[in-house]
Amino acid sequence: MQHSDLRPALAQAQDWVAGLIDRVRPDQLERPTPCPEFDVRALIGHLYTGAGRVRRIGEGSDPMVEPHVVTDLPDDLAAGYRDRIRAARAAWTDDATLTRTVRVPWGEVPGALALGGYLTEALTHGWDLATATGQPAEADPELAERGLVAARKAVPEQPRGGPIPFGPPVAAAPGAGPTERLARWLGRPARPTE
């Protein structure tokens, strides 16, 4: 089966996330996020984890050696994230990585499908970060639409919970953009207190 090459889409999503991290102020690091598991600092640490896991998957090593949340963050959060995404991209330069079976937290899949999962994760957690820090929360609409399509294929509406670590879908506001619709599909409220 032929899968799309999502390397450019993931790179675009990660660049959007890096720009969001650039604009996080130190006084915002303890704020809650729409992802109830993380405050802003922990969410950034989890985004570091995602980039590290993408690198390890591309290298053919075990992504699960990356902690769930990187806690030893550098002073320049965005520069540290950019270092991680550069290393991840370098690990995926060989086209064979797209068809190789790889281990990811949700099972064994072709590399191309692993990238789809991390594209969805980057967009959703980018939305979480933007929402928590008062930044514009919509990524490029075409990119976010790709993430939304991938999420709807990969994450069923029911059942949720257990091995599917998402709450039930939440209705998006009329006229919501695709990034918000993606976040809502994965159970996110609009604001951390909603």
Domain annotation for the chain: domains and CATH numbers: 7-142 (1.20.120.450)
Contact 92, 124 (CB under 8 A): no
- Helix segments in 60-108, DSSP class H: 77-91
Interval 26-80: pLDDT, tens: 999 999 999 888 999 999 999 999 999 999 999 999 999 999 999 999 999 999 9
Q: Which residues contact 157 (CB under 8 A, 6 or more apart)?
A: 168, 169
| Higher pLDDT pick, 191 / 179 | 179
Contact 106, 64 (CB under 8 A): no
Q: What is the mean pLDDT of residues 85-93?
A: 97
The CA-atom distances, in angstroms, between 134 and each of 25, 39, 40, 82, 113 are 11, 14, 12, 22, 32
Q: What is the mean pLDDT of residues 112-124?
A: 93
**Predicted confidence band of residue 161 (pLDDT cuts 50, 70, 90):** low
Q: How far apart are CA 113 and CA 26, in angstroms?
A: 35
pLDDT value at residue 28: 98
How confident is the prediction for the chain on average, in pLDDT? 91
pLDDT value at residue 162: 61
pLDDT value at residue 193: 47
H-helix or E-strand spanning residue 45: helix 40-59
**Predicted confidence band of residue 194 (pLDDT cuts 50, 70, 90):** very low
Percent of the chain with pLDDT over 70: 92
